[in-house]
Amino acid sequence: MMPNRVFAIVLLFLLALGVSPAAAQGRAETTLAEGWRFHLGEVRGDATAAGFDDAAWQRVAVPHTWNKVGNYAVTRRPDANTTRGVGWYRLRFTLPANAAGKRVYLQFDAASIVADVWVNGRKLGRHEGAFSRFRVDATDAVRPGENIVAVKVDNSKPDPGSPTEFVVPISGDFFMYGGLYRPVSLIVTGQAHIDLLDHGGPGIYGRITTLNDAAATVAVLTRLRNSGRVSAVTLRTRIADGDGRQVAQAEQRFSLAAGTATARETALTIARPRRWNGLDDPYLYRMTVELLGRGGAVLDRVEQPLGLRTVAVDADKGFLLNGRPMRLNGVNRHQDRQEKGWALTQADHEQDMALIEELGANSIRLAHYNHATPFFDLADRNGMVLWAELGLVNLASIPGKADTPPAMKANAEAQMVELIRQNYNHPSVGVWSIGNEITNWASKGLTPSNARPLMNALNAVAKREDPTRPTTIAACCEVLPGEKDDGRDRTAGTADTVAYNLYYGWYTSGRVADAARLGAVMQGYHRENPTLPVGVGEYGAGGAISQHTDNVHGGKIESIYRPQAEEIQAVVHELSWRELKPLDFLWGTWVWQMFDATSDLREEGDSSDINTKGLVTFDRSVKKDAYWFYKAAWSKAPVLHLTGRRYVDRAYPVIEVRAYSNAPEAQLSVNGRALGTAACADFVCVWPGVRLVPGENALVATAAGQTDRMTLRYTGPERAIHVRTGTLEGVTLAGGTRYGSDDFFDGGLGFTLNPYQRELYAAGQQRKAARVVAGAREPRLYASWRTGKAFRYALPLPDGQYRVTLHLFDPAETAPGKRVFTVTASGGAPVRIDPVAKAGAGMTATTVELPATVRGGTLTLDFAGVVGEALVSAIDVVAR
């Protein structure tokens, strides 16, 4: 027996190397984080050779990425690095003294996208795929003392002839960072060991065969590899409870043939099992497998989590955890973060999980690929149900080819196996996803598609690897309920379940109110596919915290450009959740997305290279209003949150005040003056027509013991108002006159003169020439309009005499008499207007002035079409 003092010294030495105490018995793992050298781009000479001079290379620590993408500005950051190509890493490491006679492996938790590995100039292998762990056997390449590992990674775009051409995903609305962005480690173990070449998996896999209140039976499959001579071994399998007490054990004795890989299964019974039950009770056991040699020496040892639970999905009852319906209220999460890209720390993962827990979600969709093991571990411990997804996005084949090339199919299947084996033991994983939005892009003129054969094959792989969990697929662009089949791909039905990615109120009509269609569409899918469990994989809207609107219904949304007001995002979620909440047949719904994330395809909102649909900003510093809506709807904690607090300087003196709360009602005061109680229907409390005084206004809301405050300012005129109609965006002119976005209207629709041409953007084409309104001294007042057969404005103004100026042009008609309408100001006589006759031509600016008298604090303007529809592009009202 080793003396205690000697043992302590050895233990400290091992800890200094990054070796865990348990690992000292059989398996030693050393983290290789510091001391790396990095070079971006190809190099002269042989960078794999031990004698290569890398002194001029950059010193880096791993995890590392060379890319830096995404910032909150309308121009790309000057230090952005969007390089897609080759990066080289080299590290000198010393082999542990106890490695003699043992097996030595290098483990890469992920390398993007393709990685080639050499040790001391000897090629050990290649891995293709950006998101999964892989290992290489370095035993025959290492030597006592110093060794050199060289890694060439390549995140090139999947162009023809590229190393990534057939590596999925070959498309996707997220940036593919390059580098060794997850940890790298050195593993030393016995010649006979638990298989380290098992697709990056742990080599042990616990399957629950029976589970009831009296007992649980767990079959633990262990994959073994013997790289040495014939060996008599003992396989000891143990299960411990949450306090570390052993609750089951079994041993098998047998001989391992030389140079073989094999598998053994052990059945263990746990009496009076405690179930892993999501957020209510995420109870974990631990299973440990030890491979023992002569005299009981530990040759190898692996420990994994074990959660006792069952999962299923029913077409009418939804997701079932331990046989009970559990509505999955979830969020989508990408693995990137501002300034760090994909190179996250444990603290980053923990912060993400804490924010999601605070929100009240009980599920997370890991979009759109295999995420890091620490996040799975957090989900296990915290009770989150995970949707784990293969990194196959958009395209089931290379552009221009309908059928999946064999190399691409093989890569997708290999990554499917890696996803499942590496995460099999995490009880938090509820479903395996075989892909996201695999659609017939031929409808957009880009490429043909024949996706179903690939999706069926991937589903077969998933069911072979793990028959205990349901599979799913996210579909976005299939035929809507009741529509005629137009020949596009239908991937629904290739997996056990489907979840539709539907952005009503955002990508559809461009109108917020369209979000109210979401419930009917999902009911239609359920009606047309009564035996197929359906859910919603994505829904949501963009939200820029520095962009705001006075009325979310004031105009059409620029869903892939600018602006993207924070208020619009919040209301789209309000309406969407109101539609989804009562649909008990849904097996789950997932907000897109929890955090803003990188997309170098986007110039949206107040950002560059960012998808702004997060409930929280890219740097995790700001919880947007929509975050607080879901916290009110999902969390058990009392919630009260006044919305619009970042829209401090208001364009109008009369506003609508909104709050989110899970209390039945809330009270509001402004500058100490009580404004009464509002019911919080569907978690939204509304006080319309709140008047602000000049200067700062203190708003205080209270509800069920909660208090929230915000300060708003109004510095505009008391006896004037300026409205930019038909648009969600206000503007301040050079002379200082401020126009709010369209507000105070009833009826009509808003339109934009030069909307962002999404169909050209999708096809990579140039924008059409902008339309120009002739004679417009201030073009921004003629950039949008409100139109309709009949609509009204009710403008809040003090009583008195006013002059109304209407800014007009006709965007469609070119001849007099084709559009004629009347405008009636505050009950006066109707004024007949023909905008083409008044301007002298179509697409030409003109104005009409009207007198008005305000009584009762409101000036009304009634527009009525006589021939065609009425319209107006801006309104000025000033005191006479």
Q: Which residues are known catalytic residues?
A: 437
Amino acid at 604: E
CA–CA separation, 855 and 17 (whole Å): 82
The answer to whether the beta carbons of residues 579 and 518 sit under 8 Å apart is yes
- The answer to whether 60 and 39 are in contact (CB under 8 A) is no
Query: Which residue in the block uniquely carries the two structure tokens 């002739």?
Result: 774
Distance CA 558, CA 753 (A): 12
Beta carbons of 643 and 683 less than 8 angstroms apart? no
Say if CB 723 and CB 805 are below 8 A apart. no
Reading the block at residue 756, the tokens are 């962002």
Burial status of residue 832 (CB atoms within 10 A of its CB: 0-12, 13-18, 19 or more): exposed
Closest CA to 289 of 521, 70, 27: 27
Residue type for position 571: V
Contact call for residues 29 and 20 (beta carbons, < 8 A): yes
Strands 285-292 and 231-240: antiparallel
Take residue 620 and report the two structure tokens written for it. Answer: 């995790």
For tokens 């409100």, name the residue: 786
383 phi and psi, to 5 degrees? 85, 20
Query: Please, is 403 exposed, middle or buried when counting C-beta atoms within 10 Å of its C-beta (0-12, 13-18, 19+)?
Result: middle
Bridge partners of 125, per DSSP, are 117
Does the CA dihedral 541-536-166-109 come out positive or negative? positive
Element spanning 376, H or E: helix 373-382
3-state secondary structure of 808: strand
Q: How many CB atoms lie within 10 A of CB 467?
A: 8
For residue 496, give the amino acid letter.
D
Neighbours of 737 (CB within 10 A): 16
| Residue 843 Rama label (left phi>0; alpha psi -120 to 50; beta) | left
Can you tell me the distance from the alpha carbon of 362 to that of 346, in angstroms, rounded to the nearest whole number? 21
The pair of three-digit structure tokens given for residue 382, joined into one six-digit string: 């915290």
Q: Report which of 606, 597, 595, 592 is spatially closest to residue 563, judged by C-alpha positions.
A: 606
Q: What does the block give as tokens for 78?
A: 């000057």
The helix/strand/coil state of 568 is helix
How many other β-carbons are positioned within 10 Å of the β-carbon of residue 859? 25
| Matching residue, tokens 């219904």 | 553
Strand order in the sheet with 298-306: 246-256, 231-240, 285-292, 298-306
Burial 693-703 (b: 16+ CB within 10 A, else e): eeeebebbbbb
Q: Which residues of 44-83 are buried (b: 16+ CB within 10 A; e: fewer)?
A: eeebbebebebeebeebebbbbbbbbbbbeeebeeebeee
Q: Which of 227, 228, 221 is nearest to 202 (CA)?
A: 221
Lookup result for tokens 């997370």: 364
Phi, then psi, of 725 in degrees rounded to 5: -85, 155
